[in-house]
Chains A and B, each alone.
Chain A
Amino acid sequence: MVLGTEDATPVTFWFAVSPGASVQMDDLVAVRTQKPGGQPVHFYGIVDHVRTRHEGVTFDSDVADVVAGLLPASVSYAARVLVTRVDPEDFIPPQPGDEVRHARGDDLRLALSADKMDYAFAGGLLADGQVLPVNYQFVNGESGGHINISGISGVATKTSYALFLLHSIFRGGVLGRRNEGHNTRALIFNVKGEDLLFLDKPNARVGQKEEGVQERKGWQGGRYDRLGLPVEPFRDVQFLAPPKAGQGDVIVPDVEQRGEGVTPFVFSLREFCQKRMLPYVFSDAGSSLNLGFVIGNMEEKLARLAAGDDAPYLTVEDWQPDTEVLLSEDVRFDEMGKTRIQTFGQLIAYLEYKLLEQNDGEGDPKWVLKQNQGTLRAFIRRLRGVQKHLSPLVRGDLTPQQAAKYRPDILRSGVQTSVVDIHKLGAHAQSFVVGVLLRDLFEHKERYGRQDTVFVVLDELNKYAPREGDSPIKDVLLDIAERGRSLGIILIGAQQTASEVERRIVSNAAIRVVGRLDLAEAERPEYRFLPQSFRARAGILQPGTMLVSQPDVPNPVLVNYPFPAWATRRDEVAGGVTVQETEDTGKDWLGL
């Protein structure tokens, strides 16, 4: 019953729990009150605070007398409710004495505004084992888009939850109902370990883990059953990884745990120029206006240089590098007298020559464009700095067939999920890959429109789109955050601290999720969407538990989600690695 000793308002009220009943935090409840005219008003809400105390005693030490059976006292068990919905929207307060019930079935649907959702997918399980519906139209960009997940690394399991959401979207039937199953895709950047390289393998431990949970909770069905999801790994996955450093015809993915099934990806030197990837090499272009000008200028020059041919390498007439390049057998006659630029290092050397060495150190005036030497040197210096990281990725020493084969194609037909492993790359190269791939995707979608939704999963947003400073990657991410939803690019971004991510990216996310937070972080304004009691709790959330806030429900809801059905480490792969696979690996690497 609604308490009369505490204020009951249309947004929050306390209720007394009857003896024998039990209420825990995050339970959903329903109250019916009556207006003086007799019309009913229903309140639905979530329990955000529960407490018990001895009633009618004055001293703390009275508890001993109560327990000794001397002092009669009753235990008052009360809970506070944050109202999530009032139906109809008559914002009168509930009356003290109104009966409070657990929300189940239709009440639960109303409490979570599921009746307003045309298309919903499972966002996890509530504390009492019921399914939290998440409005797909607030995810895919129709009414809103983007998901943002915050939480401490390791215990907040941000990536796991992002993957669970993808699994739920892909396999939970929402796409089938919308007839979009065949062309909705996901692009996942793997930034930590090789965790995500086994998404297509069943997890050996999931059965045992889930049975344990089921037993503990005393449920009929397991969590996957309740969610209506299959216990299966991801399907139609391609794994992309940068190649190992070093030259040569054999391009081998730079991964350790997984042998087969990982495709190396490279960009040809010509693509680098044609597709204007140069700005993505610089993370601090905005720090100086002049540097930005030089970058733009060089980007243009390289694009022109690369135009008109499709060989993976570039050829230039006006430059003879110091080192002798042995003429290879496949030299073409139209290249006689020209120099072939085959590596990223050579490209830098060529730029250095054009900017700083030609004309006795004056540079080519058309390239220099009267920029002062300091700026040009800074430009070259930065390029040299990233040379080591980018050399394996941007290559001219490939055959055109290789270039085509290893070009990353996220929208390849038959592939639903692409995992791009960038964890081994240096920070610059990571940004470069993320920026280039996202820009590609963005431009593709700008041309072809929004009919295919692409989910982009990117952890460590604070690195790619920091609140302070500019970078081309940040621009792409901002574009995605602000315009992507109308183009069908949905960012599932995650970060440890939302306070360090560009505000416009976080604020554009329709669905916000919080795992375990540092308590100081939880008090920052970025988390104001959490009521105070939830902010305090964010500090004690366990792995596998998240607070989910969505536009249809004014208060966040605590959910847990099942153990991944896909392997997240090599030793979790069911069945282990067979000899056959090892052989396949060898073939794969050798390009046989």
Chain B
Amino acid sequence: MRSMRIRLDPWPVDIEGGQLGLQRFEGELIDLETPRWAAIPARPIPARLGTVHVVDGKRRMESRVFIEDDQGEAGMGGFGAFVVGAVDLCPHGTRPARLTDVKAQRLLAHVPGLRVDPYRLSPRDPHTGRLEYHPVPADSADPLAPLHKLQQTMLAAEQQLSHGLATPVPFDETDPREALTSLTLQDGTLRSQNLGGAVVGCVKTMQTLYLPEDRAPLLAQLRPGERTPILHMKYANGTYTRFIWYVRLCEAAFYQHPMSGVMRLEMYAPDEPDFLPPIVREVANISGNLLCRLASKAHKDPRAPQNLIPTAALESAMTRAMGSAELVTRRLRAHIARELGVVA
């Protein structure tokens, strides 16, 4: 009989969900790369891969509002801000990493059926700049709909950015081969149908364990940089198909679950699992080296090593780009006070 064992989830308790949820996966999984289920060592990053983009997005609801339009219609809404951005770096370290496209946008999401004008907050001081909220109707009158709208808009912008930056991926044998020169790492899972491009979704948190029980132990055995073979996966509801593989970024500490430090990567896959594009295999081969290089350290980031160094930098740059939430709310209040003729 086995004795009771307790080990720690790697992530601090104030991060929602924890790293290892490990629910059972109901979809379909097919060995595509090799039937031999064993660790595959990382390959060196080829010289022609000159650019890696790390893309992420962030959103913030700044204030929930109650809107009455000039027709007398009324409803809920929200002032929201979101920002997407990328870090452009060379995987060989030949040039400094830089932030690109980190620019905040603001929207006023509202229930459908209202006539809402753009909302401009003119600066009180000429140096502080202007805030402008573009009206966007939400999908329903649900009180949470404005927030969802904000989230959707952000994800769409993120997707647009990440795909715009990547090398196109050939998805059938007739495609002329294209060398992998530019790769995009997107924070989180890939959310839509195949949009093309060498975009890798980096999933930090394991909520679902896709592997069957006989295969899962390999995750605990992977050494840093090693990966599992690539699998073709179809979600249970059949909407999306993906290529997935797991990579280990660092050794798990003795007090942690042995699967900690393991990250799931995914790329778009065609519906039919009959062809593994060489570029996907190439990305998988180098992913161990690349991610170990980008992995952060525990004392610098509570979600290390999965929260990558560039991602953490991008997150703080994005927070900064949205401005101080406190100041924004204060300006909103002051603006409304002025509009209502109240002396602030």
What residues of chain A have their CB less than 8 Å away from a CB belonging to chain B?
4, 56-59, 62, 65-73, 95-97
Contacts and interface: CB of A to CB of B under 8 A. Distances in A.
Contacts of B317: 56, 72
B310 interface: yes
24 contacts: A4-B127, A56-B317, A56-B320, A58-B300, A62-B300, A66-B97, A68-B93, A69-B89, A69-B90, A69-B93, A69-B94, A69-B97, A70-B97, A70-B294, A70-B309, A71-B310, A72-B96, A72-B310, A72-B313, A72-B314, A72-B317, A73-B97, A73-B313, A95-B127
If over half of A's interface residues share one DSSP class (helix, strand or loop), that class is named, otherwise mixed; here it is loop
A71 B313 contact: yes
Interface residues on B, range: 20 to 34
Given A56-B317, A58-B300, A59-B300, A72 B97 contact: yes
B313 A69 contact: no
Contacts of A71: 97, 309-310, 313
Nearest to A70: B309
B127 A72 contact: no
B95 interface: yes
A59 B313 CA distance: 12
A73 B293 CA distance: 17
A97 B127 contact: yes
A118 to B, nearest CB: 41
Interface string B288-321: 0000011000001000000001100110110010
B96 A69 contact: yes
B98 interface: yes
Nearest to B93: A69
A56 B313 contact: yes
Interface in B81-100: 87, 89-90, 92-99
A62 to B, nearest CB: 8
Contacts of B89: 69-70, 72
A288 to B, nearest CB: 71
Interface of B: 87, 89-90, 92-99, 127, 293-294, 300, 309-310, 313-314, 316-317, 320
A72 B313 CA distance: 7
B306 to A, nearest CB: 15
B300 A66 contact: no
Nearest to B94: A69
A66 B96 contact: yes
Nearest to B102: A72
A65 B96 CA distance: 9
A62 B87 CA distance: 16
The residue in A4, A69, A70 that gathers the most chain B C-beta atoms within 10 A of its C-beta is A70
A185 B312 CA distance: 71
A93 to B, nearest CB: 13
Nearest to B295: A70
Given A4-B127, A59-B300, A72 B294 contact: no
Given A58-B300, A72-B89, 9 more contacts: A57-B313, A68-B93, A69-B89, A69-B95, A71-B97, A71-B313, A72-B98, A72-B310, A97-B127
A62 B96 CA distance: 13
B291 to A, nearest CB: 11
Contacts of B314: 72
Contacts of A59: 300
Nearest to B89: A69
If over half of B's interface residues share one DSSP class (helix, strand or loop), that class is named, otherwise mixed; here it is mixed
The residue in B89, B90, B93, B96 that gathers the most chain A C-beta atoms within 10 A of its C-beta is B96
Contacts of A58: 300
Contacts of B310: 70-72
A129 B98 CA distance: 37
Contacts of B320: 56
Given A56-B313, A59-B300, A70 B93 contact: yes
B222 to A, nearest CB: 22
Contacts of B293: 70
A8 to B, nearest CB: 12
A172 B274 CA distance: 91
Contact of B309 (A4, A56, A65, A95): A65
Nearest to B293: A70
A71 to B, nearest CB: 5
Give 8 nearest A-B pairs by CB, closest first.
Answer: A69-B93, A72-B97, A68-B93, A72-B99, A97-B127, A70-B309, A72-B87, A69-B97
Contacts of A65: 309
Contact of B316 (A56, A67, A69, A95): A56
A68 B294 CA distance: 10
B7 to A, nearest CB: 28
A73 B317 CA distance: 10
B85 to A, nearest CB: 10
B242 to A, nearest CB: 27
A583 B313 CA distance: 83
Contacts of A4: 127
Contacts of A97: 127
A71 B54 CA distance: 11
Contacts of A68: 93
A433 to B, nearest CB: 66
A201 B99 CA distance: 64
A124 B192 CA distance: 71
A72 B317 CA distance: 10
The residue in A65, A72, A73 that gathers the most chain B C-beta atoms within 10 A of its C-beta is A72
Nearest to B127: A97
The residue in A56, A59, A68, A69 that gathers the most chain B C-beta atoms within 10 A of its C-beta is A69
Nearest to A57: B313
Nearest to B316: A56
Contacts of A73: 97, 313
Nearest to B86: A72
Nearest to A34: B126
Nearest to A73: B313
A58 B296 CA distance: 13
A62 B320 CA distance: 19
A58 B299 CA distance: 11
Contacts of B87: 72
B56 to A, nearest CB: 12
B249 to A, nearest CB: 14
The residue in A67, A71, A96 that gathers the most chain B C-beta atoms within 10 A of its C-beta is A71
A181 B336 CA distance: 74
A56 B314 CA distance: 10
A65 B296 CA distance: 10
A65 B54 CA distance: 15
Nearest to A36: B126
A526 to B, nearest CB: 42
B248 to A, nearest CB: 19
B155 to A, nearest CB: 23
B44 to A, nearest CB: 16
A96 B127 CA distance: 8
Contacts of A62: 300
A395 B226 CA distance: 102
A548 to B, nearest CB: 37
B144 to A, nearest CB: 33
Nearest to A59: B300
Nearest to A2: B127
A58 B297 CA distance: 13
A46 to B, nearest CB: 25
A57 B310 CA distance: 11
A65 B293 CA distance: 10
A97 B128 CA distance: 10
B319 to A, nearest CB: 11
A36 to B, nearest CB: 10
A70 B320 CA distance: 20
Nearest to B317: A56
Contacts of B92: 69
A284 B186 CA distance: 87
Contacts of A70: 89, 93, 97, 293-294, 309-310
The residue in B87, B310, B313 that gathers the most chain A C-beta atoms within 10 A of its C-beta is B313
A96 B126 CA distance: 11
A71 B313 CA distance: 7
Contacts of A67: 96
A302 B317 CA distance: 89
